[in-house]
């Protein structure tokens, strides 16, 4: 794995370009990694629905559990599935729409300065060894490419949108991630 800093794409990742992104503010490099958990439908893994949501091709009429997603325009930079495979939807040079209303260390609009990493999972399922293995490779690669991502700037969605978001959830093992990456757990 290696980041091409000029293009913002991660070598070794599958590419599935999302239309849901925008430019970062001029001169803004990523300085935060936000970890999320996602499953569609909730608690179910392995289907095509996350990719469809991020690429604006999800037919929200196919399942009544999707109706609340109608018109939603979201994306993340990366998705790590249960097998540890990585898909990139948005270049790191651009602003993915993953954080919503958020702030970190007194700075609002986390989408402007963060990299969003979705983990296929949910609040009530442990993440897989393959996902932790992938993160333990990925996070040092991202921190090398973007040195402003300090050891204490790898957080969960729950940390930047408290009260509104709970992911990656109580089953996410921050100590395990820290042991393999040198980050400071939130």
Q: Residue 16's pLDDT is what?
A: 98
What is the per-residue pLDDT across 27-60, written as a single tens digit (0 to 9) for each?
A: 999 999 999 999 999 999 999 999 999 999 999 9
Integer Cα distance of 156 and 167 in angstroms: 6
Domains of the chain from N-terminus onward: 2-181 (3.40.80.10)
Average pLDDT, the chain: 97
Answer positive or negative: Cα dihedral of 77, 25, 97, 154: positive
∠ CA 174-178-179, nearest 5°, is 120
DSSP string of 92-150? TTEEES-S-S-EETTEE-GGGTEEEEEEE--TTSPPPHHHHHHHHHHHHHHHHH-TTS-
Helix (H) or strand (E) holding 50: helix 49-54
Banded model confidence at residue 1, pLDDT cuts 50, 70, 90: very high
Distance of CA 104 to the CA centre of its chain: 16
Q: Which residues contact 27 (CB under 8 A, 6 or more apart)?
A: none
The closest alpha carbon to 37, from 124, 123, 104, belongs to 123
**What pLDDT does residue 155 have?**
99
Q: Which helix (H) or strand (E) holds 155?
A: strand 154-156
CA 48/CA 115 separation, integer angstroms: 22
Q: Which helix (H) or strand (E) holds 78?
A: strand 78-80
- Name the pLDDT band for 89 (thresholds 50, 70, 90): very high
- Name the 3-class secondary structure at 88: strand
pLDDT of 9: 99
The whole-angstrom separation of Cα 146 and Cα 113 is 11
**Residues annotated as part of the active site:** 118
Q: Within 13 A of 133's CA, how many CA atoms are on the CB side?
A: 8
What is residue 6's predicted lDDT score, i.e. its pLDDT?
Answer: 95
Q: Residue 104's pLDDT is what? A: 98
97-152 pLDDT, tens digit each: 999 999 999 999 999 999 999 999 999 999 999 999 999 999 999 999 999 999 99
- Give me the pLDDT at residue 102, please: 98
């Amino acid at each position: 794995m290696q980041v091409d800093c000029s293009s913002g794409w991660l070598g070794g990742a599958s590419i599935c370009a999302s239309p849901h992104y925008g430019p970062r503010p001029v001169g803004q490099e990523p300085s935060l990694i936000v970890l999320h958990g996602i499953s569609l439908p909730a608690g179910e893994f392995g289907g095509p629905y996350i990719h469809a949501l991020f690429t604006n091709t999800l037919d929200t009429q196919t399942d009544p559990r999707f109706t609340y997603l109608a018109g939603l325009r979201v994306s993340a930079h990366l998705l790590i599935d249960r097998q540890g495979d990585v898909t990139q939807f948005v270049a790191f040079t651009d602003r993915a729409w993953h954080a919503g209303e958020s702030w970190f260390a007194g700075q609002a609009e986390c989408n402007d300065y963060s990299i969003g990493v979705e983990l296929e999972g949910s609040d009530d399922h442990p993440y897989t060894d393959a996902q932790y293995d992938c993160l333990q490779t990925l996070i040092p690669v991202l921190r090398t490419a973007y040195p402003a991502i300090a050891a204490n700037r790898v957080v969960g969605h729950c940390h930047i949108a408290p009260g509104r978001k709970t992911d990656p959830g109580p089953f996410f093992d921050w100590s395990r991630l820290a042991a393999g990456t040198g980050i400071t757990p939130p």
